[in-house]
Each structure stands twice: as C-alpha cells, then as structure tokens.
C-alpha cells in the first residue's frame, strides 16, 4: 500500500483533490466533526480540561471556536485530546485498507504532528491566493481570526512544498485536477 499525503494551505482544495484520486481517503476534518457529534468521551475530556467552554453535548463548533479565540493555550489542549483519537481512527483506516494499492491521507497537520512516514508520497496543493480567500469567505463558519490561529500552528507553505514530491496547481476544476492525478499515479506506479 502506498500512502499519499495531501498538503497545502487552508482552503486550497486539499479535500477536493483527495476525493478525485478514486482511492480510499482518510479525511481528518470529517473525522473531527464526527468526534464532536458522536463521541461523548471526547466531550467529557474537553469539558474536564476546558470547563468554561464545553457545557453541552454534542459539541458545538462555536464552542470550540470560542475556546480557541479566547486563549491560544486552549488550542493546544484541544489538539492534544482530539489528535490522539484521530490518530487511532487513522490507524484503523489503514488497517482496513491495507490491501488497497493507494490510500489518501487528507490530514491538515500531517507533517506538524509527525503522522507521515519517510515512504509517504507527499503532494502539495497550490491555489491562487485570491481563489483561496474567495472560497474561505464562502464557508459557513468563516472566521478570519480563527484561520490565523490555525495558520500559526502550521509549518510554512514553502516548507511543505519543498517536502513534497509533486505539486498540483489547483484551479478547482475536476478536469485539471484529474490530469495532475493521472500523471502522478503513472509516475509512482512504475
């Protein structure tokens, strides 16, 4: 099994690219959303660490945002609790898909949390800044301050791009993305 890690800026279309590979995708953001909705243990752990922010289950994303914006230490506390569970879910995903030729890892903090292995194929998704900002502004819960907090815990885009074996210039059209994907799969499938 070849693990393909998708890297890039917030809003660059990493999930769009990941879905277009046609292989199983582990999407960390979707898994976090499921944890907030369905995992009472996570709620209890967050309530214990941050009692002023988490009072009702299922966890409301606004409560998470409020905690993060209130104090930068809160983000680290949340990450510590949530990422442990996400890593377990990823390992289950990998075990379940061990016979697949490829698996796609759509994990925003893949390098930061040292989830990648040296054999992973890393792909950097690049998009025009104006397009990224336009897409972010259209998101339901877009918050510029929150975005800045998340960017501050991430490695630089230049670093991620330099660590990647491939770059996809995302124009948010399926045709262009599929052309890049087919070239990448041909190259690593030799």
**Tens digit of each residue's pLDDT (9 = 90 or more) over 141-187:** 777 777 777 777 788 999 999 999 999 999 999 999 999 999 999 99
pLDDT lower than 50: segments of the chain: none
Q: pLDDT at position 190, please?
A: 58
Q: 42, 69, 96 — which closes off a domain?
A: 96
The domain of 166 spans 1-24+100-190
Q: Tell me, what CATH number does 14's domain have?
A: 3.40.50.300
For the chain, the domain total comes to 2
pTM of the model: 0.90
Regarding whether 179 and 107 lie in a shared domain, the answer is: yes
Indicate the residue among 96, 111, 142 that finishes a domain. 96
pLDDT for position 162 = 96
Three-class HEC string of 121-173: EEEEEECCHHHHHHHHHHCCCCCHHHHHHHHHCCCCHHHHHHHCCEEEECCCC
Q: At what angle do helices 72-96 and 61-70 cross, to 10 degrees?
A: 130
First to last CA, the chain: 14
Q: Which pLDDT value is given to residue 150?
A: 77
Cα 146 to Cα 43, 136, 153, 189, distances in angstroms: 21, 12, 11, 39
């Amino acid at each position: 099994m070849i693990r393909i890690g998708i890297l890039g800026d917030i809003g660059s279309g990493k999930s769009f690219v990941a879905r277009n590979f046609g292989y199983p995708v582990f999407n960390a953001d979707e898994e976090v959303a499921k944890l907030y909705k369905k995992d009472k243990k996570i709620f209890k752990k967050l309530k214990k660490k941050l009692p002023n922010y988490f009072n009702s289950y299922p966890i409301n994303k606004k409560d998470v945002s409020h905690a993060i914006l209130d104090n930068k230490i809160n983000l680290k506390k949340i990450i510590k609790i949530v990422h442990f569970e996400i890593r377990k879910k990823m390992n289950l995903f990998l075990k379940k898909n061990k016979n697949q030729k490829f698996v796609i890892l759509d994990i925003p903090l893949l390098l930061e949390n040292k989830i990648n292995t040296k054999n992973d194929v890393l792909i950097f998704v690049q998009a025009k800044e104006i397009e990224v900002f336009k897409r972010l502004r259209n998101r339901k819960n877009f918050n510029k301050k929150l975005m800045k907090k998340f960017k501050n815990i991430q490695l630089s885009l230049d670093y991620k791009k330099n660590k990647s074996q491939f770059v996809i210039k995302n124009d948010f059209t399926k045709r262009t993305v599929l052309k890049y994907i087919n070239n990448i799969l041909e190259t690593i499938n030799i």
